[in-house]
Amino acid sequence: MTKILVPISNGFEEIETVSIIDICRRAEIEVTIAAVEELETVGAHNISIKADCKIEDVNDEFDMIVLPGGLPNAFTLAENNHVQNFLKKMKKENKLIGAICAAPYALHKADVLNQNYTCYPSFEEKIRLDGYHKDDNIVIDDNVITSRGPATATQFALEIVRALKGDEIYSNVKNAILA
C-alpha cells in the first residue's frame, strides 16, 4: 500500500489539507494525518480535523510527506524538529516531498527544497527569489512537488496521485471528481 504523511498544526489551510487527504484516499493511498500540537487541530478558518496520531509517534515508513499551507501552520512546521527531521530523512532516502501555499517555507528551512519551486505569492521573499516560478500552479523539480495555494489544491493533490500511482489512476481520479 502506498502511504503518505500529512503533518498539520493549528492554522492549517483547510481546502489544501482536505483536498490532499480526500483525493489521495480516492486513489487508494493510505494517508496518515499527524498532529504537531493537539490531536484536535483547528484550521485557519475554524474547521477542526482530528489527526490520526501525534507527529512524535510516527514510526511508519512513508512514500511521501506532504505539507499543507496556512498560517501559522507553515511556520510551526518549519520550526518543529520532528517535521524537519522527517523532511530531511525523506530527502536522504530520495522519497517524494510535497508542499503547497506557505509550506514550501518549511521545506526551505529543512534544506530539502530543490532549485525550482512555487508557493503562495510573497512567501518567495521568505525563501529565495532564485528558482521561484510565480506563474506556475505546480512545479515539479525531481522529487519535490510544490504548489501555489487553495485554488490549486485539487491540481496539486492530483499530481501527488500521478507521482505515486501513475497516469492511469491519476486519470481515473481526475475524471471521477470532474477536474
As annotated, the active-site residues are 101
Residues 55 and 155: their CA atoms lie apart, in Å, by 26
Residues 23 and 28: their CA atoms lie apart, in Å, by 9
Residues 87 and 113: their CA atoms lie apart, in Å, by 10
C-alpha closest to that of 36 among 103, 89, 81:
81
Q: Measured between alpha carbons, how far is residue 31 from residues 5, 19, 70, 122, 144 in Å? A: 6, 12, 19, 30, 18
Contacts of 128 (CB under 8 A, 6+ apart): 108
Question: Nearest 5°: CA angle at 164, between 44 and 100?
Answer: 25
Residues 5 and 32: their CA atoms lie apart, in Å, by 5
Are 14 and 43 in contact, with CB atoms under 8 Å apart? yes
